[in-house]
Amino acid sequence: MRNGFRLLALAAALLAAAAVQAGAQSYPSKPITLLVPAAAGGPTDTVARLIAESMGRTLGQTILVENQGGAGGTLGMGRIAKTAPDGYTIAVWHIAHATAPALYENLKYSPLDDFDHIGRITDVPMTLVSKTALPTKTVGEIIQWMKTQNAKATYGHAGTGSASHLCALLLMNRLGIQMTGVPFRGTGPAMNDLIGGQFDVMCDQTTGTTNQIKDGKIKGYAVTTLTKVSSLPDLPTLDQSGMKGFEVSAWHAMWAPKGLPKEVTDKLVAALLAALKDPKVVDRFASLGTEPVAPELATPAALRSQLASELTKWQTVIKSAGVKGE
């Protein structure tokens, strides 16, 4: 009798394994959800939608972008960590994935160990911008204005631990000032209020600021990379403007729930690599002041290594700033 039960259990296990294998080989057989842990209309949302469209063509399935902001992206990434690893729910997020453990003491997941790492997408430069009503015209003038105003000056950001928040923290640290923060649930709403003149300055990604600067809706002063950005040729770098070595970029990447079948991971990685070579994606990225990462960086191993390094870096920065997640 025991042998009979063992044979039945073995048969059931083999059938289940065969079903998983068959499902992986036929993947994807239905639309895929790509979660963005931020509000619609922001820079990460823009990156995700460009990638989703291209990857969908390669995979032969629609990739539906869903936005779930809140708690510095941890609500959305927490959902991904608990989702079945079948390849039908994936996420595009950015540098904030590396800041979460330093900001949230009771974080329910490990950014490094509770996800499958698919690959990096792009390293987006950031820009120092302001509302048009400020009297400043140059990077030197805006820096002096911020120093003089100090706590009277207001800066907007997309939520605690967001790329725009981190950039502002580094900037204030270098200048020895403490402006008053105005948090939003995503950069899209923050940009709308900056255009409306509701706060003074922001440090945000070129994917969200380039067109607004060119259209004269906000003022642009400098970029945060060590080299100038081709789409914004008139803006110097902060490094060139007296803040030697100042550098920060909002790197974006793709993750999935832990435990994807290898065949599914391989298909997602291949589709991501194809998207990063897609002329439409490359051209659109260029118009927004960024570019796809090199192919060797768009891999699971490279992303895991990058994330491990960033976790260590931002733990130090955030603790020294005394910032906690909300």
Alpha carbon 227 to its chain's center: 21
Local structure of residue 121 (DSSP, 8 states): E
**Dihedral sign from CA coordinates of 193, 153, 236, 240:** negative
d(CA 34, CA 220): 32
pLDDT in tens, 128-165: 999 999 999 999 999 999 999 999 999 999 888 888 99
Pair 89, 147 in one domain: no
Pair 139, 230 in one domain: yes
Task: Detail the DSSP E strand segments found in 61-114.
Answer: 63-67, 89-94
On whether residue 85 sits in a domain, the answer given is: yes
pTM of the model: 0.80
Closest among 201, 125, 71 to 193, alpha carbons compared: 201
Q: Specify whether the CB–CB gap between 199 and 154 falls below 8 A.
A: yes
pLDDT in tens, 208-228: 899 999 999 999 999 999 999
d(CA 217, CA 220): 10
On whether residue 153 sits in a domain, the answer given is: yes
Pair 119, 263 in one domain: yes
Query: 3-17, 264-278, 283-297: lowest mean pLDDT where?
Result: 3-17
Domain count, the chain: 2
In degrees and rounded to multiples of 5, residue 237 shows phi and psi of -90, 155
Pair 79, 68 in one domain: yes
- Mean of pLDDT over the chain: 91
Q: Which of 208, 241, 274 is the last residue of a domain?
A: 241
201 C-beta neighbours (distance < 10 Å), count:
26
Pair 35, 143 in one domain: no
Pair 216, 300 in one domain: no
pLDDT at 176 over 50: yes
Pair 144, 223 in one domain: yes
CATH number at residue 146: 3.40.190.10
Pair 166, 307 in one domain: no
- Six-digit token string for 148: 């003089």
Alpha carbon 222 to its chain's center: 21
Q: Which residues contact 282 (CB under 8 A, 6 or more apart)?
A: 276, 291, 292
Domain span holding position 190: 125-241
- Six-digit token string for 18: 């065969």
Pair 82, 58 in one domain: yes
Pair 218, 315 in one domain: no
Q: Specify whether the CB–CB gap between 44 and 78 falls below 8 A.
A: no
Q: Which of 215, 241, 267 is the last residue of a domain?
A: 241
On whether residue 231 sits in a domain, the answer given is: yes
Pair 228, 257 in one domain: no
pLDDT in tens, 240-260: 999 999 988 899 999 999 999
The C-alpha torsion from 316 through 320 and 322 to 326, rounded to 10°, is: -30
Pair 255, 114 in one domain: yes
